[in-house]
Structure 1
Amino acid sequence: MVSTLERLGVAVGFPHPPVSIDVKAIRAKLGVTQKEFAVQFRFDVDSVQNWEQGRYQPDSPTRILLKVIEQHPEAVEDVLG
């Protein structure tokens, strides 16, 4: 099925989440501990530790959220209240 945008000659694509993300660098940039980072952004502390130690990679939606936190932490804090 061809979308209206495609019929008008507008390229349609979907952005891809980052393949990997450096959670430790994001956290360090914010100047917080693993526990503070987890509490501030509602992550499980064990998950933050596992991501930073390379045991697990965050899933796609989480990588997108982490990228937003990296660039605009205040926006996520506003949403989380």
Structure 2
Amino acid sequence: MSKMSFAASEILEGLNEALQDAKGIPVEGVKKTVVYQVKPKEVREHLNITQQEFSKAFGIPLATLRNWEQGRRKIDATAASYLRAILRYPREIMAAQS
């Protein structure tokens, strides 16, 4: 049996660490990034406005908003950032749209 290359052994070590982490076993040096999943319907409902009002206020096509809310389309990173900003600064963003 031939020896494993350095790259292959590094990959295997990383996979084993990922498996330990997935099982809840602490792994020294592993850094995690938690990604906040923004939900357009929750953002809109937090503002207590209709789809039509949200669409008009923030310049998002109504069909796009409906597709997001119904899960027919995924939200890209830019749109997710915009929705998070709307959640935090709705008045400022509405003012910037006019």
When the two structures are superposed, what TM-score results if normalisation uses the length of structure 2? 0.60
Alignment partners' CA distance in 2, 1:30 and 1:55: 23
Q: Percent identity?
A: 28
| TM-score, normalisation: structure 1 | 0.72
Partner SS state of residue 60, structure 2:
coil
Distance apart, 1:19 and its partner CA: 5.7
After TM superposition, the runs of 4+ consecutive aligned structure 1 residues lying more than 6 A away are none
Shift of residue 34, structure 1, vs aligned partner: 0.6
Q: Distance in 1 between matches of 2:43 and 2:72?
A: 17
For structure 2, the residue ranges without an aligned partner over 5 or more in a row are: 1-32
| RMSD (Å) for aligned C-alpha atoms | 1.7
State the partner residue of 1:45.
Answer: 62
After TM superposition, give the deviation of residue 20 of structure 1 in Å: 2.9
- Pick 1 or 2: higher relative contact order, CA cutoff 8 A, min separation 6: 1
- Give the partner amino acid of 1:40: A
> Is contact 1:20-1:57 (8 Å) kept?
no
In 2: Cα distance, 1:55 partner to 1:28 partner: 19
